[in-house]
């Protein structure tokens, strides 16, 4: 499936992080990439994050956390309900392939694909997200109400588990059919209600680190690198009229110490690349059952076997001098020459035929395949 009737450049210029947009079935041939039984099966798996929102009464929402027993779904006919499964792209290849159509947004911003399945009347209540989202109608129909812009000061209902808006100021209503897309910018209130019993929505979410997360993460990393001997010094200290004053000169030195420690852009890039590329669920082990050798890699390349990226893995790179720093699943690889070109290629595509490469390229592929971040076609089921 391709976004055949969609202009990414126009969208980014006129809608991205500006205002909602309804996109009427822009696909060349829309087919929902996951079915309800497959989604329910994932919700029963302990390594998959899933939730169930049940509405025992109008305007009342109750949240249950997965994994679920299959019998739970047989008891859901009495009231509206919604099943939500996170990171379905990590487990269903056809859902992962859907992401390739949205890579007009940089990879490092993409989070995952959450899929929801609801009975008629089901929804999760009026809320807002702190990130951009594309809401793709997979099956059935859903009515979306879009409302006001919200922030941390927007009043919420007193709900233990869900961040539901106390007030919703309806600004627009969109009825989505299969293949239709609704883009919602960060902070915009929205409320979706299923119009059919066979309602499935695929939500492509995008990450946006907060200033607090950046400051905390980066400063914690810097602190880990500092030693106790790196201390304030004031050679040439002169007498001052009042010993109780912290002088402007002292404050300048103190602040300069802090800014110098935090202002190393090269080290910041290394920290952010590694931090941002950490897998969403790092506790899941994707490594192959038996590690490959360099000869195994060379044989696979010589045979023209495609390299496949693990949908659960995150690839990004930063240019540095004549090479690149490649970040994969929290690890950093310094690459130059042919290795740098290979790193860029792996970061851009989900499937690559590498062909012959240098020893550095073989070493990079070997490290990545034994991390479980890539696999050679035909071997991915062994991870």
Whether 65 and 164 map to the same domain: the answer is: yes
Whether 334 and 238 map to the same domain: the answer is: no
CA-nearest of 243, 369, 244 to 313 is: 369
Q: pLDDT at position 1, please? A: 83
How does strand 323-328 pair with strand 315-320? antiparallel
Q: Is cis: bond before 67, omega within 30 of 0?
A: yes
Q: pLDDT at position 380, please? A: 61
Q: Which residue has the tokens 């989202």?
A: 133
Distance (Å, whole) CA 55 – CA 76: 10
Residue 289 lies in a domain: no
Distance (Å, whole) CA 184 – CA 192: 12
Q: pLDDT at position 96, please? A: 96
- Take residue 43 and report the two structure tokens written for it: 């919700």
Residue 2 lies in a domain: no
C-beta atoms surrounding 321 within 10 Å: 8
Whether 248 and 353 map to the same domain: the answer is: no
| Domain final residue pick, 181, 206, 231 | 206
Residue 89 lies in a domain: yes
Give how far the C-alpha of residue 326 lies from the chain's centroid of Cα atoms, to the nearest Å. 18
Q: pLDDT at position 147, please? A: 98
CATH number at residue 324: 3.40.366.30
Whether 88 and 130 map to the same domain: the answer is: yes
Whether 199 and 85 map to the same domain: the answer is: yes
Residue 316 lies in a domain: yes
Whether 90 and 188 map to the same domain: the answer is: yes
Whether 81 and 147 map to the same domain: the answer is: yes
CATH number at residue 146: 2.60.120.650
Whether 180 and 322 map to the same domain: the answer is: no
Distance (Å, whole) CA 258 – CA 261: 5
Encode the chain (383 residues) as per-residue pLDDT tens digits: 899 999 999 999 999 999 999 999 999 999 999 999 999 999 999 999 999 999 999 899 999 999 999 889 888 878 999 999 999 999 999 999 999 999 999 999 999 999 999 999 999 999 999 999 999 999 999 999 999 999 999 999 999 899 999 999 999 999 999 999 999 999 999 999 999 999 999 999 999 999 999 999 999 999 999 999 999 999 989 999 999 999 999 999 999 999 999 999 999 999 999 999 999 999 999 999 999 999 999 999 999 999 999 999 999 999 998 899 999 999 999 999 999 999 999 999 999 999 889 999 999 999 999 999 999 998 765 54
Whether 38 and 177 map to the same domain: the answer is: yes
- Take residue 118 and report the two structure tokens written for it: 């609801």
- Take residue 74 and report the two structure tokens written for it: 């047989």
Question: Which residue range(s) make up the domain with 216?
Answer: 211-263
Residue 353 lies in a domain: yes
Residue 268 lies in a domain: no
Whether 155 and 87 map to the same domain: the answer is: yes
Residue 85 lies in a domain: yes
**CB contact set of 26 (below 8 Å; sequence gap of 6+):** 3, 4, 5, 6, 179, 181
Whether 118 and 96 map to the same domain: the answer is: yes
Distance (Å, whole) CA 346 – CA 323: 15
Q: pLDDT at position 78, please? A: 80
| Domain final residue pick, 206, 222, 241 | 206
| CB distance 108 to 156 below 8 Å | no
Residue 35 lies in a domain: yes
Q: pLDDT at position 126, please? A: 97
**CB contact set of 206 (below 8 Å; sequence gap of 6+):** 105, 109, 110, 111, 131, 132, 133
When divided into structural domains, the chain yields a total of 3
Whether 46 and 182 map to the same domain: the answer is: yes
| Domain final residue pick, 162, 179, 206 | 206
Give how far the C-alpha of residue 180 lies from the chain's centroid of Cα atoms, to the nearest Å. 22
């Amino acid at each position: 499936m391709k976004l055949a009737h969609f202009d990414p450049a126009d969208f980014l210029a006129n809608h991205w992080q500006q205002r909602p947009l309804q996109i009427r079935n822009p696909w060349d041939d829309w087919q929902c990439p996951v079915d309800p039984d497959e989604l329910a099966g994932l919700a029963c798996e302990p390594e998959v994050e899933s939730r169930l929102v049940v509405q025992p009464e109008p305007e009342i929402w109750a949240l249950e956390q997965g994994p679920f027993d299959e019998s739970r779904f047989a008891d859901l006919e009495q009231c509206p309900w919604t099943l939500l499964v996170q990171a379905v792209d990590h487990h269903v290849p056809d859902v992962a392939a859907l992401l390739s159509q949205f890579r007009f947004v940089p990879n490092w911003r993409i989070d995952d694909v959450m899929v929801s399945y609801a009975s008629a009347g089901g929804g999760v209540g009026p809320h807002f997200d702190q990130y951009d989202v594309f809401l793709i109608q997979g099956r059935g129909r859903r009515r979306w109400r879009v409302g006001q812009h919200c922030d941390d000061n927007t009043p919420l209902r007193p709900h233990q588990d869900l961040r539901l808006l106390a007030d919703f100021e309806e600004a627009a209503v969109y009825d989505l059919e299969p293949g239709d897309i609704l883009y919602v910018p960060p902070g915009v209130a929205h409320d979706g209600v299923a119009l059919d019993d066979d309602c499935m929505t695929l939500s492509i979410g995008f990450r946006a680190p907060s200033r607090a997360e950046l400051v905390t993460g980066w400063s914690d990393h810097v602190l880990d690198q500092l030693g106790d001997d790196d201390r304030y010094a004031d050679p040439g200290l002169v007498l001052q009229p009042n010993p109780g004053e912290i002088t402007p000169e002292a404050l300048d030195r103190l602040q300069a110490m802090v800014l110098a420690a935090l202002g190393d852009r090269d080290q910041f890039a290394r920290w952010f690349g590694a931090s941002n590329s950490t897998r969403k669920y790092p506790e899941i082990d994707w490594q192959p059952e038996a590690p490959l050798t360099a000869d195994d890699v060379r044989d696979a390349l010589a045979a023209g076997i495609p390299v496949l990226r693990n949908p659960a893995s995150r690839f990004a790179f930063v240019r540095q001098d004549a090479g690149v720093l490649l970040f994969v699943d929290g690890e950093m690889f310094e690459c130059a020459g042919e290795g740098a070109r290979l790193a860029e290629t792996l970061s851009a595509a989900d499937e690559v035929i590498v062909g012959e490469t240098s020893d550095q390229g073989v070493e990079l592929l070997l490290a990545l395949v034994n991390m479980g971040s890539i696999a050679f076609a035909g071997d991915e089921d062994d991870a």
